[in-house]
Amino acid sequence: MHKEIDYQWRITKYNPAYRNAEGHYLRDEWTSASEIGKSFHGEILTLDDYLQVENAYVDTVMKFLEVYQIENVRLIHLETYGLSDVDKSSPLYDAAFDTMPLAEDMLVTIAQIPIVCKMVLREFIHCQLITEDFFVQFGYDYYMFIGANSIQQEALQFASEQCLFVEQMMSPYYLSEKNVIREVSWSFPGEEIIEDSELLTDITLEELQTIFQLSSIHPVTGSYKITEDNAKFFQKKIKHTMDFNKYEYYLLAGS
């Protein structure tokens, strides 16, 4: 995703009329599929109620893809924490999830996109979907952000017709390449505490995509383990002498 994304929208089930001046949502509403069966404003959230809203989100994503003539997307920032110890007997677990291959930077076809969206919305996985100039980002509490480089009213109108609220604003998960800070960090094996780090300055996105064998639109943001196989490249960029007998090394990239 090299290009700057000029137009971005928050598209959610949350009515902005219930926000205060600071933008905080004041109304008590369900924020997760895990709350099915709980009561909100005197009504039980049923599975059917949940699926109606989920379908609105998924259908909206698919409409955007149709209008913007996008046939496939890249899956990035994949996390599969929700698949550990999953209860496959749950009504929220779809048999299609078992057939869905998952890998960082994989190409997701138009037929697979609804499956991925459902897995994210049901909190089995987390990821973002991107093309060079388009994205779908899912946040906490059933928030969704879509970005593109043109405004297509047909897509926006469709979202509204699904009883979703469309608000033009920057996604808090969007990070322009010009604002990315990258550094090499090291820590003792198995430890989360970073011992030290060095800023990387003389490096290009294309070099990193090649080093980590990622596609030409992958933003290379997040955390990536540096191995002895690619250490030579990074050693040239930092003063610290890398010692894999003592430390584990990572490329960290963010804001």
Dump pLDDT digits (tens) for 42-67. 999 999 999 999 999 999 999 999 99
C-alpha 221, offset from chain centre: 11
The token pair at 82 is 């929700």
What is the residue whose two structure tokens read 């930092």?
A: 238
How many CB atoms are located within 10 Å of the residue 119 CB? 23
Helices (H) and strands (E) in the chain, counts: 5, 13
* Cα 91 off chain centre by: 24
Cα 25 to Cα 17: distance, rounded to the nearest angstrom = 9
Helices 47-67 and 113-121, axial angle in degrees (round to 10):
140
Residues of the chain with CATH 3.10.50.20: 177-254
Judge whether residue 97 has pLDDT over 90: yes
pLDDT at 142 over 80: yes
Return the pLDDT at 227. Answer: 98
147-150 long-range contacts, CB within 8 A, separation 24+: 147/5, 147/7, 147/8, 147/9, 147/171, 147/174, 148/5, 148/6, 148/7, 148/64, 148/68, 149/3, 149/4, 149/5, 149/6, 149/7, 150/6, 150/7, 150/68
φ, ψ dihedrals at 220, nearest 5°: 50, 50
**Mean pLDDT across the chain, nearest whole number?**
96
Q: How many residues does the structure list for the chain?
A: 255
Q: Which of 115, 138, 151, 124 minimizes the C-alpha distance to 5?
A: 151
For residue 88, is pLDDT > 70?
A: yes
Mean pLDDT of 151-166: 99
pTM of the model: 0.94
How does residue 1 score in pLDDT terms, banded at 50, 70 and 90? low
In the CATH scheme, what is the homologous superfamily, with its name and number, of domain 177-254? Cloacin immunity protein (3.10.50.20)
